[in-house]
């Protein structure tokens, strides 16, 4: 199959060399100047919600910013989300948008591909995310979830975030990679965590940036580990995602090359795991703070009469879905989505030339009072059919993105959240001190800085 284009990197701080415009080409758009070398990125990482709110108050729905080393455009509106994510006129590249952040460590992952190449690769991956495949993953993951959540309440000093992170990573090693040996699971999980950690490094040249160098080394180890197992997976009958990808053949006879399988798997592990961990952590915190919602969900999950969720149960857990949607609204695991223009375009009355970094911010539209009643309140019922606040604009609520790159794992994530919440709430009452407020780090992926200490009392 066709290979995605290769990128060249600067030898200075290791960022990709992408075609760009002179700073002055965006002078007609209101916004901030060059400032620090890393531009507005620091302000965004420090407090993304404040960053977007201040910016919207100062400049409105479109503004010029200074991303590391170049000018870019920030769009803060539901229409802006739609314009960029739906991308009817094919103005944007996701590959070039994500490349500076994820390029070398998650290279050629599905989200970092464009056009026909992306369409073909996504079509080949789709069978592994269909209903029947999801039912198989669910069956695989539930015994582990029930076993692990049963242990959580017995741990002194329990912290929710590291516990759920460990669990989702172990599930991914099993369901995605089909690993059985604990020593292999541990090694892969360690390498994987190192790659993710490196993606946050500011300095991206291996000599200066040790964190980044360790990430690249870990990626190479993962590549060798996965590549060595492809022949047996191509000939086996495993139901894990790795095995399915090895056996997938399209109607016109296309199949993934070995290199593509490795690239996709490394990306998928990242896309699946930190995001779902973040969502489950937000839910646990919200339920501990809102005992009435916790009781309401407990009543819902008790109707199932068992700890292990089965495929038919998934559609019977509607209030759990509202709670998930509300958690993703308040703390979208991906607060911003990156793109780059590949042609001139226009939005909110301003032209944007080709070769400009453009970003949209779910975290802004998720808190915009234009679309949400009392946006700061945890109010899952706003997603009920009776209220349907999410129907006010199709692109105001976009935790999973939209358009051609819309999250392929959305149903997987929803299923996993239900598979965890059912045994968790049936076994334990989640508690935090009345005056505790979780110190949230919202970017690059929402997570609690203190791991979210929590008491679990037997129900």
**Which residues of the chain form contacts with ligand HEM (CB under 6 A)?**
94, 110-111, 122, 268, 271-272, 275-276, 279, 328, 333-334, 337, 399-401, 405, 407-409, 412-413
CB 127 → ligand HEM: shortest distance, Å?
Answer: 13
Which CB, 98 or 372, lies closer to ligand HEM?
98
* Minimal CB distance residue for ligand HEM: 409
Q: At residue 347, what are phi and psi to the nearest 5 degrees?
A: -150, 145
CB 41 → ligand HEM: shortest distance, Å?
Answer: 18
CB 398 → ligand HEM: shortest distance, Å?
Answer: 7
Which CB, 430 or 446, lies closer to ligand HEM?
446
Which CB, 32 or 239, lies closer to ligand HEM?
239
CB 338 → ligand HEM: shortest distance, Å?
Answer: 7
CB 412 → ligand HEM: shortest distance, Å?
Answer: 4
CB 405 → ligand HEM: shortest distance, Å?
Answer: 4
CB 24 → ligand HEM: shortest distance, Å?
Answer: 29
Residue 14 is encoded by which pair of tokens?
């290791």
Measured CA to CA, the distance from residue 249 to residue 238 in angstroms comes to: 16
Q: Which residue has the tokens 């729905």?
A: 61
Which CB, 80 or 333, lies closer to ligand HEM?
333
Which CB, 73 or 268, lies closer to ligand HEM?
268
CB 111 → ligand HEM: shortest distance, Å?
Answer: 4
Which CB, 229 or 405, lies closer to ligand HEM?
405
Which CB, 13 or 265, lies closer to ligand HEM?
265
Which CB, 123 or 190, lies closer to ligand HEM?
123
């Amino acid at each position: 199959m066709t290979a995605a284009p290769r990128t060249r990197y600067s030898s200075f701080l290791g960022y990709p060399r992408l075609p760009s415009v002179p700073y002055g080409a965006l002078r007609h758009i209101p916004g901030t100047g060059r400032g620090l070398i890393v531009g507005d990125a620091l302000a965004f990482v420090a407090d993304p919600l404040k960053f977007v709110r201040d910016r919207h108050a100062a400049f409105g729905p479109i503004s010029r910013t200074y991303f590391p080393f170049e000018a870019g455009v920030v769009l803060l509106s539901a229409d802006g989300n739609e314009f960029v994510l739906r991308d009817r006129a094919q103005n944007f590249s996701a590959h070039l948008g994500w490349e500076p952040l994820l390029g070398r460590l998650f290279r050629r992952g599905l989200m970092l591909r464009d056009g026909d190449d992306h369409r073909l690769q996504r079509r080949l991956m789709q069978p592994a995310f269909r209903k029947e495949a999801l039912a198989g993953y669910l069956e695989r993951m539930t015994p582990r979830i029930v076993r692990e959540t049963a242990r959580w309440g017995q741990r002194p000093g329990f912290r929710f975030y590291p516990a759920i992170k460990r669990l989702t990573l172990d599930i991914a090693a099993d369901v995605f990679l089909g690993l059985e040996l604990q020593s292999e699971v541990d090694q892969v999980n360690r390498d994987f965590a190192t790659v993710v950690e490196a993606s946050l490094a500011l300095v991206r040249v291996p000599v200066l940036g040790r964190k980044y160098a360790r990430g690249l080394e870990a990626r190479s180890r993962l590549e060798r580990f996965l590549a060595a197992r492809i022949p047996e997976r191509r000939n086996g009958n495993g139901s894990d995602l790795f095995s399915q990808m090895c056996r997938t053949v399209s109607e016109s006879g296309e199949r993934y090359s070995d290199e593509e399988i490795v690239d996709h798997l490394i990306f998928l592990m990242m896309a699946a795991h930190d995001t779902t961990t973040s969502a489950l952590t937000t839910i646990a915190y919200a339920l501990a703070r809102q005992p009435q919602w916790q009781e309401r969900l407990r009543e819902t999950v008790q109707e199932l009469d068992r700890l292990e969720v089965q495929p038919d149960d998934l559609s019977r857990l509607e209030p759990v879905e509202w709670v998930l949607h509300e958690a993703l609204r308040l703390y979208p695991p991906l607060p911003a989505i990156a793109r780059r223009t590949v042609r001139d375009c226009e939005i909110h009355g301003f032209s944007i030339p080709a070769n400009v970094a453009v970003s949209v911010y779910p975290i802004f539209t998720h808190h915009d009072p234009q679309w949400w009643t009392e946006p700061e309140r945890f109010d899952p019922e706003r997603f009920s059919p009776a209220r349907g606040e999410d129907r006010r604009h199709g692109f105001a609520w976009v935790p999973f993105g939209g358009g051609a790159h819309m999250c392929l794992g959305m149903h997987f994530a929803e299923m996993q959240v239900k598979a965890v919440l059912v045994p968790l709430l049936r076994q334990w009452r989640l508690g935090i001190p009345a005056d505790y407020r979780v110190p949230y780090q919202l970017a690059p992926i929402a997570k609690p800085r203190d791991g979210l200490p929590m008491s679990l009392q037997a129900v």
